Amino acid sequence: MKLNRGRAITSMPGPSVIPDRVLAAMHMSMPNIYAGDMVDVSLSLFKDLPAIARTGGHAFIAISNGHGAWEMALTNTLSRGDKVLVLESGRFAVGWGEQARMLGCEPEILHAPKRAAVDPNDLEMRLKADTSHEIKAVLVVQVDTASGVWNDIAALRQAMNAARHPALLMVDCIASLGCVEYLMDDWEVDVTVGGSQKGLMVPPGLGLVWAGAKAMAAHKTANMRSPYWDWTARLSEQAHYLRYCGTSPVQHIYAMRTALDMIAEEGLEAIWARHAIFADAVHAAVAAWSTPEGLNFNIIDPAQRSNSTTTILSGSIDGARLHRICEEDAGLTLGAGLGDLASSSFRIGHMGHLNPHMILGTLGTVEAALLAMDAPIGAPGVTEAAKVIAKELAA
């Protein structure tokens, strides 16, 4: 029986649930875009965004999605023929590396162990072997939306330092920013890439890039720069529209302002803590459901699982049917498996605008759908998740 009335919800790992406040902020008539309030609000974004990545560097806002932000990061810092080392731990760093190849760079892939994060030792060894410093940049994701892995960026930086290697460290935080601790300057990250539509709770449409001093220096000699993405033009103070290389994304500017206000009201540390709790709750449920033949975590080591999204191997269970029951009969959209894991996994996003009701509703619905399918599950999971949350409510 179809029970999919009520407010449909997505628990995809992005785009995440957009707060009503953010949607309301976009529901506005067109203002003057050359002066006045819109320009003030826009400037406030450039002022406030660096703190989101915990950097004193520059923030750039491209009208694009995350792939556009990737391209902005690469074209502004690298040159044709540059070698880049891609730390593979899922699907997205590899995609970024493919972009680099099409732009004219030479990506080399360093594989993480199976179902695991990148091993800093592997990175250190590879960089030590690059004695002539041919590798100009290391590309890595903090969280891979496909595999659900969390990479330890601080440790990866330590590995680079141990190898005394000068390559730029470029980190894709699209699926983690605003969810998981990220300290760009402390970790000596040179370029950070983000998007509007996940932890930042804004509809897709803005690509974000943060650049530190070393990246800005590399920018000066990069030969792949293009007018649309070019940082130099975007830093010009001559006219406000140059910051967006043309007409500014009016509605998204107000959306982002609202989202940054919400983030400021809660505090970034509190947000990271909240995501850690909800991740614990989700993981507790998945752990309870898990059986040798049925559901299992894709990422084996609990310490390497993301606090923003969880990838679950479906084993003998028909993941597509589970997805369909949740969506068509119960109004909940889960994340489907991506890439290699397309037919063997599903994903639960737990990023952004979330509370216990939403998390427990999602887990309860998945549990109901599993039961409806007569899927083998180890033990009731939603109750375990409720226990995790109870502990925090009591605190």
Question: Which of the residues 87 through 106 are near a copy of itself (CB under 8 A)?
Answer: 98-99, 102-103
Q: Give the angle 32-35-36 at the CA atoms, nearest 5°.
A: 85
Contact with a copy of itself (CB under 8 A): which of 20, 237, 269, 293? 20
CA distance 264 to 47: 13
Q: Tell me, by CB under 8 A, how many residues bind a copy of itself.
A: 112
Task: Show the site string, 168-207: x = touches a copy of itself by CB under 8 A, - = not.
Answer: ---------------------------x-x-----xxx--
> Contact with a copy of itself (CB under 8 A): which of 111, 246, 301, 302?
246
Alpha carbon separation from 236 to 56, 230, 244, 275, 387 (Å, rounded)? 18, 11, 11, 37, 53
Interface of this chain with a copy of itself, residues 315 to 374, rule: CB under 8 A: 325, 327, 329-333, 336, 353-365, 367-374
85 within 8 A of 92, measured Cβ to Cβ:
no
Question: In one letter, which amino acid is 128?
Answer: K
Phi/psi class of residue 6: alpha, beta or left (left: φ > 0; alpha: ψ in -120 to 50)? left
Restricting to residues 264-303, which ones interact with a copy of itself according to CB under 8 A?
Answer: 266, 270-271, 273-274, 277-278
CA distance 8 to 23: 16
Instruction: Work out how close the CB of 310 gets to a copy of itself at its nearest, in angstroms, rounded to a whole number.
Output: 17
Distance of CA 164 to the CA centre of its chain: 28
Asked if 27 is part of the footprint of a copy of itself (rule: CB under 8 A), the reply reads yes
**Contact set for a copy of itself, span 42-81 (CB under 8 A):** 63-68, 70-71, 75
Contact status: 10 vs a copy of itself (CB under 8 A): yes
**Is residue 250 near a copy of itself by the rule CB under 8 A?**
yes
Q: CB-hemisphere CA count at 13 Å for 96? A: 33
x/- site string to a copy of itself, residues 222 to 241, per CB under 8 A? ---xxxx-x-----------
